[in-house]
Structure formats: C-alpha cells, structure tokens
Structure 1
Amino acid sequence: MARPARSDSEKKRGGMRAAALLHALARHVGAENPYQFATRFDARMNSTTHTSGKWRLNFAGSQALSINQLKLLSQFDARANLLHVRGPADLWIALWGDAHDLWQLCRSRLCHMGPSLDDRIWLEVAGEFTDEKAFDVTLADFEGEVLLAEAYQALLPLRYLSEAVALHRLFQTLNTLALLSFDGAGTYRCVRICLDNANVAAELSHHGILESVRDELAVIVTRPEAAVPAEQRWEALRPRLDWIG
C-alpha cells in the first residue's frame, strides 16, 4: 500500500528536522558545508555520497530525510535518531510534541537555572531537585528570568526558547479545559524575547533553521500580547514573585 501523501506542514517540518540534524552532525565532524560532510561521511562509511549530492537538499531544509538516509546517519552517529525526533534543545517536542510531554521539558519546574545548564550537567543534577513547583509558579519564575535577561541583555541558550514554547502551549491547553486564576499572557512575550535573543538566533542559524523557526512561531510573536512593555509584565508578576522590589 502506498504511503499517504504528506501535507505541506509535514513536508516543512520534515525539512526542518533534516536541516537541523545534518547541521549538527556536520559541526560534530568539523564540516562546514554539504560537500565536506559527505566527504567525511563517505570516508567513515565507505560510500560515495559526495559525488551524488545526496545530502544537499536535506541540508537546505528543502527535503525531509528518507528512511534509508536516516538509517545511514544512525550508523554514522548513534545520536542521529534522537536528534531527528527531539531536535536541538528538544525544540521539536516543544513545537510539535504531544501536550503530555511538555511539562517534562520545563526545567524551571525544578530549578530556575535549569534552562541555562548544559544538558550533560542537567542529567547529573536533575535528580537532586525534589521540590517540583506548580505550573503557575513555574510560569511566573520563568517569565521573571526572561525579563531579567532582557533587562541585562543577557545571552540565552536555545533551551530557553524550547521552554518558552512548551510553557505557552501548556497554558493554552489548560486554558481551553478550565478557568485559570493566573495570567499567562506573558508566554507570548517570552517566546518573542527568546526568539529575538542574539544567542538563540545564532544557534538556530548554526542549525540552518532560523527563518523556518521564525515562520513557525510567527502566529505567537506577532500577537499584541507579545509586544507589551516590560514594565507592564513586571507589574503583573509583582504579586507572584516575592523577589521583585
């Protein structure tokens, strides 16, 4: 039976997954373009992909990886499947994953510094945090951290964007199910501030997905809530964060 045709959104997402994965693998082996990556791939895998331009369209995000390509990349680097599914800093889960998986992405539920920690360090220390915060407290703490980063023009890791998107989606999901007693409007602004952060933009660019991620998040960052002044959000958070003077 033939595979059902992919929708335009599925094709776009497949291209984003391909571009991010190949850029990550290329950086890992010191390759700066598709040809250099193919040369290093061929040397290790005893193949001739550099003569056929096998990876060029995938690098550009114009074409999703085929099952066979992904299998080859998994043989080349054992992390390939995981990176393809989860994306850089778990961004694909935050953007498109099941809502049930979003809370686990939010490191701020355990530690306000969680999103800033390297993944290897987080794996070592995450188990030490036993007091999980409620969703509304986590949301306020995270927005406070983003507001501070904005005020001091701090460089944020890409994981801040993943967490901002995850918290936004969680709030939207909960808000459709029940009346909430706390303000989640700041989630729009958090996504915008994280997306506009110089380091986040650089990381997305290094993965070849900056413009496509901007397109994906345009529906959030162009909302009026995303453009409210920082002072307005500080005032909204004042009753919820005791460290605000």
Structure 2
Amino acid sequence: MSPRTSEELEKIQIRSVALMRLLMRKTDTSNANQFAKWLTDRTKEWGWSDMQESKKWYPFVRGKIKRAPIGALKLLSQLFADADDLYWSGPADIWSALWGPLSEQVTILRRHPKCVPKDPLSIVIKKIEESVSLCAEGQLEFEDFVRAVALYGYLAAADSYGRTCDGDGFGHAYKAYCLVQTSYRDPAVADELKALGIYAAIRAELTAIELRRAGTRPAWVSFLECGAIRVDDPEHTVRERNRVAFWKKWMPLKQPPLEQPSDILDELANRWCNT
C-alpha cells in the first residue's frame, strides 16, 4: 500500500534505513552490495535470484523506497526472525516511543530497570529524568534515550501544556523535550543514531513535533509554559529558514518579519507574555 502523505512516506523511509543498517550489522556487511552477496550466498540453494546482480536492496539501504516494504519483510523474516519487529518497532523500540500509541509509550517508560510494576507513573517519570540528567557524558545507554523519547511523546500527547510544580514555570512537555535534546546529544547515543543512519531524521522529527505543539498553544498557556522553542539543526541556513517559516505559518506578525529568527522569537515572546 502506498503512503497517503509525505509524513507517512518519510516514516517508511526512515524505518527502512534503520532496519537495513541493523541487518548489515548482524551480517558484518557495510553496504548494499555486500549485504546482497551475503543474502545470495545463503539463499541460492532455495532457488532465489541473484540479489547482488539485481541490486534489489540498494533502495532499501538508501531509504529510497516509495511504499512499505511488506514483501521484503516477508523475505527477510525467513533469515532474520526479528526483521518485522525491527522495522515496525525499531531498534530498542524507538519507533514505538516516537510514533506509537500512548499505551506503547507507557510500556516503554515502565521498562526502566529501577522501576517496579506498582510504581505510579510520576515516580517512573522522575527515574527516567534522573537517568538522563545524572549520567556522565558518553555513558548514556541507547535505551535511556528511547525512554526519554517515549516520555516526551507521551507528555506531548497526553499533557501538552500541563505545568510542573518545581517553581520554574515550564510545562511538563517542554521539559521532556529538553531532556530528549540532552540525551541525543550524548556522544554514545549520537554515535549509535549516526550508525543507524537516522540521527538527522530523529532530530528533525522531534523538532517538528515540538513546533506543532508550540504552534497550537492555547491562549491560556503562556510562552514560558510552552517553552522557548529553538529549531535544532546543525546547518545555520536551514535552521534560520525553518524557524522563520514556522513563525510565518503559525504566528504571523502584522508588521514585516524581522531579519534574525532570534529577534522574531524575542518579539513573539514579549507579545505572548503580555497577552
């Protein structure tokens, strides 16, 4: 089935890239050609075609597919029992944490090793926050990152503008977003995301979710509670273009936009705080 929206297509392509990187890691191969040779060597007695010659796997490795790889998953599942789960749920369930329903996100949260089944969700959340914020640089586990993503996804949907009670005025979801930023910048987590070929895509997706959350801010939520949003992109020109485009779309100014995105943010912050 072909995707109905560009967002669905992007998810399919990101999932494909991560899956193929994981399978190439399992097979000790480093590119599509080597992976295809590995498959051919192990399936030639089954009567399968020469996949190295057909270059069948190149689009999957590069994320250039146009529809969910249902047929490819059936084929791969004959060699890799977890192929289907790795595609749909992702490494360490990252796709469930990012895009899954609330029930799946809560399940991921409750997997924290220091939690017990009877812990209330508030205690679970606190332990996840501590795992990320108190961890030494470069020592954060990928599973900690996934739990941080699940926490943010859960709060962004279930408590988008709820306030914290620690006195700083920020909302729950925004603080969870900051926690995610801390975790994916950790060298150990960043290296794993880059090895999976999804570092930039994950950052872009998390930023898009946060921008949508901020862009639909109700009138009764202050700018401070919603969070001082910054588009996190390594390329300054892309960051500037995205930031300006967002503000023009969601909160257009009556006068001509200011040149610097940071000035636009400051101007909007002042206006929102005074409403």
Counterparts of 2:52 and 2:94, CA distance in 1: 30
Residues 76, 83 of structure 2: 8 Å contact kept:
yes
* Between 159-168 and 86-95, the greater mean CA deviation after superposition: 159-168
100, 124, 127: which one pairs with 1:141? 127
Choose 165-174 or 181-190, whichever is displaced more: 181-190
Find the counterpart in structure 2 of residue 56 from structure 1. Answer: 58
Give, in angstroms, the shift of residue 200 of structure 1.
0.9
Quote the offset at 1:53 in angstroms: 1.4
Corresponding position of 1:117: none
Matched, 1:15 2:13: yes
Residue in 1 that maps onto 2:114: 111
Q: TM-score, length-normalised on structure 1?
A: 0.75
Residues 202-221 of structure 1 aligned to structure 2 (within 5 Å): 202-219=191-208
Candidates 80, 84, 87, aligned match of 2:90? 87
Q: Deviations over 1:117-165 (max 9, x none)?
A: xxxxxxxxxxxx45x321222222221221112xx32421221221111
- 8 Å CA contact 1:108–1:141 kept in 2: the answer is no
- Residue number in structure 2 paired with 1:242: none
Q: Is the contact between residue 192 and residue 226 of structure 1 (CA under 8 Å) also seen in structure 2?
A: no
With over 3 angstroms needed to count, the CA separation of the structure-2 counterparts of 1:5 and 1:85, relative to structure 1, is: closer
1:192 paired residue among 157, 160, 181? 181
Residue 108 of structure 1: CA displacement? 5.7
Q: Which has the larger radius of gyration?
A: 2
Question: The residue matched to 2:134 in structure 1 has which SS?
Answer: helix
Q: 1:5 to 1:102 in 2, by over 3 A?
A: closer
**1:61, 1:206 → 2: CA distance?**
15
Q: Which residue in 1 is equivalent to 2:26?
A: 28
**Alpha-carbon distance, 1:220 to partner:** 5.7
d(CA) in 2 for partners of 1:29, 1:87: 18
Whole-Å Cα distance in 2 between the matches of residues 163 and 214 of structure 1? 15
Could you tell me the TM-score, scaled by structure 2's length?
A: 0.67
In structure 2, C-alpha distance between the alignment counterparts of 1:32 and 1:43, rounded to whole Å:
16
Alpha-carbon distance change, 5 to 80 in structure 1, aligned in 2, over 3 angstroms:
closer
Gaps of 5+ in 1: 113-128, 228-245
- Of structures 1 and 2, the one scoring higher in RCO (CA 8 A, sep 6+) is 1
CA distance in 2, matches of 1:7, 1:102: 24
CA distance in 2, matches of 1:66, 1:188: 31
Determine what percentage of the aligned residue pairs are the same residue: 28
Does 2:213 match 1:224?
no
The runs of 5 or more residues in structure 2 that have no matched partner are 166-170, 212-226, 232-275
Structure 1 partner of 2:157:
173
CA gap of 1:137–1:225, structure 2 versus 1, over 3 A, is farther
Going from structure 1 to structure 2, the CA distance change for 1:179 and 1:141 (only over 3 Å counts) comes to same
Give the structure with the larger helix fraction. Answer: 1
C-alpha change, 1:158 and 1:226, in structure 2 (3 Å) is: farther
The one-letter code matched in structure 1 to 2:149 is V
Give the aligned residue type for 1:73: L
Note if contact 1:58-1:65 (Cα within 8 Å) is conserved in structure 2: no
* Offset at residue 6 of structure 1 (A): 2.8
Q: Does 1:160 align with 2:166?
A: no
Number of aligned positions between the proteins: 205
